[in-house]
């Protein structure tokens, strides 16, 4: 896992995947290795592998809030399987009700479902606890969709001051054609 971490930090995801595949031949039920491979698969755009690994973890550990949230968020962000995403994330939130990553994920799935008020409430809670660029991207997008464009810009601007290289935040601004 330490080797994989170093490889991931240097963007060597293909090599990282090879290391994880080799390790999983010996330790096929290692949830740490499976989770790491799922995250590498996401970086490589292999959502099928991500889903298989996270589902394997959930089958072994049905109350693994991290795996439930990761799968739910991926489904919410990268597919139209929003009802399934919502169920997974809501289960994760029951297990870890104060986790800002899970609050962010549920806020994001609610946004994708058109539940803007509920989404805004959860994303504001998540951002208050963990004001990172990804939560800021989501919160700003909900504010933008609700017509509060100035507040959205304020959230994004503050996040960019801390993390100007944030891919998700910069992609959100490009997609929405926002100039700060």
Residue 77: closest CA among 52, 35, 113: 113
pLDDT in tens, 65-80: 999 999 999 999 999 9
With contact defined as beta carbons under 8 Å apart, do 69 and 87 qualify?
Answer: no
As a whole number of angstroms, the distance between CA 171 and CA 150 comes to 19
pLDDT in tens, 45-102: 999 999 999 999 999 999 999 999 999 999 999 999 999 999 999 999 999 999 999 9
Q: What is the pTM of this model?
A: 0.91
| Nearest CA among 96, 104, 95 for reference residue 140 | 104
């Amino acid at each position: 896992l330490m080797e994989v971490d170093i490889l991931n930090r240097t963007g060597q995801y293909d090599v990282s995947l090879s290391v994880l595949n080799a390790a999983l031949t010996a330790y096929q039920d290692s949830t740490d290795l499976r989770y790491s491979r799922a995250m590498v698969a996401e970086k490589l755009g292999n959502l099928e592998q991500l889903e298989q690994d996270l589902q394997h973890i959930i089958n072994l550990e049905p109350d693994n809030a991290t795996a439930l949230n990761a799968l739910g968020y991926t489904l919410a962000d990268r597919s139209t399987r929003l009802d399934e995403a919502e169920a997974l994330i809501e289960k994760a939130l029951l297990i870890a009700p104060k986790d800002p990553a899970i609050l962010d994920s549920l806020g994001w799935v609610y946004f994708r479902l058109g539940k803007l008020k509920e989404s805004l409430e959860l994303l504001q809670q998540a951002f208050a606890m963990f004001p990172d660029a990804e939560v800021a991207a989501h919160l700003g997008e909900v504010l933008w969709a609700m017509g509060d464009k100035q507040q959205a810009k304020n959230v994004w601007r503050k996040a960019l001051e801390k993390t100007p290289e944030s891919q998700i935040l910069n992609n959100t601004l490009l997609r929405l054609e926002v100039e700060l």
